[in-house]
Chain A
Amino acid sequence: MHRYALAYLVVAVALAFFLFPIVWMFGMAVKQPAEYFSTPPVWLPRAPDLSHFRQLVLNRSINSLVNSLVIAGGATLLALLVGCPAAYSMARFNTGGRNFAFWVLSQRMLPPIAIVFPVFLLFRIIGWVDTYQGLTLLYAAFNAPYVIWMMRGYFRDIPVEVEESALVDGASTLRVFWSISLPLAAAGLIATGVFTFIFSWNEFLFAVVLTRARVVTVPVAMSGYFGSQSTFWGEAGALSLLASAPVFVLSLLVQRYLTRGLTLGAVK
């Protein structure tokens, strides 16, 4: 047993450090104002209830969850839709060569502030500020390079022989892509989709610039609870829980692909 003692000590400290803030934040959701505005702080809520969640429904913050779902979901679908064929073409036919692949990856690294500033001015002209299509399309465009880069890797993992035998049988390129390669890359596809969704769901800078009232997303709604004077910690806690729970569950689903997805495929 004692040969693991030091390791378990490190693990215990790490778990405390990484989980305590999350537990504290979520705990806010069920504490009463008298409890979270008290010195010293109250650690365990005495009478936990759901009043802060009810408040989120009453003040319509809950709408931000729907907005985030629509925008992040739509952006994910669109990014996959345009990204997968491109990735396939690049993986199998080396379309555009190495330089094109790296150009795509470099798009992913662009500083968001340099994109959102001109995009805001352009959207103002065409009336797309505070619209679903505006933010959805921008997220799709910003994440498409990620989808292409990742899916290119997943398609390359499929042995070419599998596809060649289908081609010999006379199937067209599109047909092979759709009914053979895409199903074979399904796990990678789902993982990539989940990451794209999480990135869009969590994104703040684009959202705070491009939304006003109608299509406010969860991160922007969260910032609304921290004005210079007002502090609605209970509501903020409740919203942080609703914002995090879905992505936590999603991350568990793609556990096996987490490292590859987060390191842009540097780790297989």
Chain B
Amino acid sequence: MNGSRLSKYAMVAPAVVLIVSLTIFPVLYLLWISLLDWDLQRAGRAFVGLANYAGALQDRRMWEALAHTLLIMVVAVTAELVLGLVLAEVLAGPLPGKRVVIPLLILPVIMSPIVAGYGWRMLWDTQYGPINQLLGWLLGRPLTLVWLINSKTVYFSLIVTEVWQWTPFMFLALLAGLVAISPEIHEAAAIDGAGRWQRFWQITLPLVRPLMLVALLIRALDVFKIFDTVFSLTFGGPGTFTETITLYVYLLGFRNFRLGYTAAMAVLVLALVSLATTVLLRRFSDE
């Protein structure tokens, strides 16, 4: 089909203008700022070339924030994958009542992460939260864990909250993959004497693998940018123990007002995410 040249470009133009003016242009401005020595607490903004980048790369706190982010990412996404796969496997079959169950399981994904984060902050509360209470019952003795401040438990709490919110996403994606596998393949394999486990490893997993990779990459990219959950639960604490990269850049820019330095670090984050995005995009089949 062939549209007139003019209308086909005219239809794209408004969107391009909007995206360019509010994302591309700001990114170019960001690049420019990153070359300046611009600090709101001092006068002047001299051009300093790549000095901010050199500083950022030697910033211990940035590397630590990156490490925290990667830790949350790897553990949370793995847990989401495993739990999501179990749920999908259970609900892919002809289970009566699943049409009611599935929309209920999805609710955490629909919730605002910041609202969910504050909700969980009340759940983790040492004195008034139900988690210590429930675990206390199970253990048969009162539990007074300070979940969000104790360095031994804080990551567990963060990751459980994250896993709670996003496992349903993984479940939903994998469910679609499992449902698409024709039952005849399983029946044929069963006739050939393949057991349940064998069928899972040899049939189910290879068939949902492409979808699984896309879901994993989407999730991993999202967790890399994690902000809301950390902001509401720990604000990076205790100290900077759970500070993630987005939170650190946020604090630098909006609490310390070191604009040039912040910009350089934001560019580094942008570069990292863009690199990861190209990997994801290759996985998207276009047809």
Give me the interface of A with B, judged by CB distance under 8 Å.
4, 7-8, 10-11, 14-15, 17-19, 21-22, 24-25, 28, 36-41, 43, 78, 81-83, 85-86, 88-90, 92-93, 95-96, 98, 101-102, 104-107, 109-115, 117-122, 137-138, 140-142, 144-145, 148, 160, 163-164, 167, 172-174, 177, 198, 201-205, 209, 218-219, 222-223, 225-226, 233, 236-237, 239-240, 243-244, 247-248, 250-252, 255, 258-259, 262-264, 266-267
Q: Contacts A219-B112, A247-B111 known; A205 to B3 CB distance under 8 Å? A: no
A-contact bits for B1-43, CB 8 A (1 contact / 0 none) = 1111001110110111011011101110110010000000000
User: Which listed residue, A172, A204, A219, touches B7 by the CB 8 Å rule?
Assistant: A172
User: Which listed residue, A14, A118, A222, A266, touches B115 by the CB 8 Å rule?
Assistant: A222
User: Which listed residue, A25, A113, A209, touches B122 by the CB 8 Å rule?
Assistant: A25
- Residues of A close to B7: CB separation below 8 A: 89, 172-174
Q: Contacts A173-B4, A204-B231 known; A114 to B270 CB distance under 8 Å? A: yes
- Residues of B close to A7: CB separation below 8 A: 90-91, 93, 95
Query: Which of B48-56, B197-205, B248-256 binds A?
Result: B248-256
> What are 13 A-B contacts defined by CB distance under 8 Å?
A95-B12, A110-B270, A111-B270, A117-B30, A121-B259, A145-B19, A174-B7, A174-B11, A205-B246, A226-B121, A237-B122, A252-B103, A263-B214
- Residues of A close to B159: CB separation below 8 A: none
CB distance from B217 to the nearest CB of A (A): 10
Q: Contacts A22-B107, A202-B111, A218-B112 known; A226 to B232 CB distance under 8 Å? A: yes
Residue of B nearest to A8 (CB): B95
Inter-chain contact A14/B18, CB cutoff 8 Å: no
- Residues of B close to A205: CB separation below 8 A: 227-228, 246, 250
- Residues of A close to B114: CB separation below 8 A: 202, 204, 219, 222-223
Inter-chain contact B8/A173, CB cutoff 8 Å: yes
CB distance from B212 to the nearest CB of A (A): 10
B interface SS class: helix
Inter-chain contact B246/A141, CB cutoff 8 Å: no
Q: Contacts A204-B228, A219-B114 known; A118 to B263 CB distance under 8 Å? A: yes
Inter-chain contact A118/B26, CB cutoff 8 Å: yes
Q: Would you call B67 an interface residue if the criterion is a C-beta within 8 Å of the partner chain's C-beta atoms?
A: no
CB distance from A160 to the nearest CB of B (A): 6
- Residues of A close to B214: CB separation below 8 A: 263, 266
User: Which listed residue, A17, A24, A82, touches B164 by the CB 8 Å rule?
Assistant: A17
Inter-chain contact B14/A86, CB cutoff 8 Å: yes
Q: Which of B8, B9, B250, B284 has the most CB of A within 10 A?
A: B8
Q: Which of A15, A81, A225, A226 has the most CB of B within 10 A?
A: A226
CB distance from B173 to the nearest CB of A (A): 5
A63→B101 CA distance, assembly (Å)? 34
CB distance from B250 to the nearest CB of A (A): 6
Residue of B nearest to A242 (CB): B115
- Residues of B close to A104: CB separation below 8 A: 19
CB distance from A223 to the nearest CB of B (A): 6
Residue of B nearest to A25 (CB): B119
Q: Would you call B236 an interface residue if the criterion is a C-beta within 8 Å of the partner chain's C-beta atoms?
A: no
User: Which listed residue, A173, A219, A236, touches B3 by the CB 8 Å rule?
Assistant: A173
CB distance from B62 to the nearest CB of A (A): 13
Give me the interface of B with A, judged by CB distance under 8 Å.
1-4, 7-9, 11-12, 14-16, 18-19, 21-23, 25-27, 29-30, 33, 86-87, 90-91, 93, 95-96, 98, 101, 103-116, 118-123, 127-130, 133, 136, 164, 167-169, 172-173, 175-177, 211, 214-215, 218, 221, 224-225, 227-228, 231-232, 246, 249-250, 253-254, 259, 262-263, 266-267, 269-270, 273-274, 277-278, 280-281, 284, 286
CB distance from B45 to the nearest CB of A (A): 12
A-B pairs with the 4 shortest C-beta distances?
Answer: A141-B22, A202-B112, A25-B119, A85-B11
Residue of B nearest to A172 (CB): B7
- Residues of A close to B164: CB separation below 8 A: 17-18, 21
Inter-chain contact A137/B22, CB cutoff 8 Å: yes
- Residues of A close to B1: CB separation below 8 A: 92-93, 160, 163-164, 167
Inter-chain contact A144/B123, CB cutoff 8 Å: no
Inter-chain contact B2/A82, CB cutoff 8 Å: no
Inter-chain contact A114/B27, CB cutoff 8 Å: yes
A18→B259 CA distance, assembly (Å)? 41
Inter-chain contact A113/B112, CB cutoff 8 Å: no
A263→B87 CA distance, assembly (Å)? 18
User: Which listed residue, A92, A109, A114, touches B221 by the CB 8 Å rule?
Assistant: A109
A125→B26 CA distance, assembly (Å)? 13
Inter-chain contact A95/B110, CB cutoff 8 Å: no
Inter-chain contact B15/A39, CB cutoff 8 Å: no
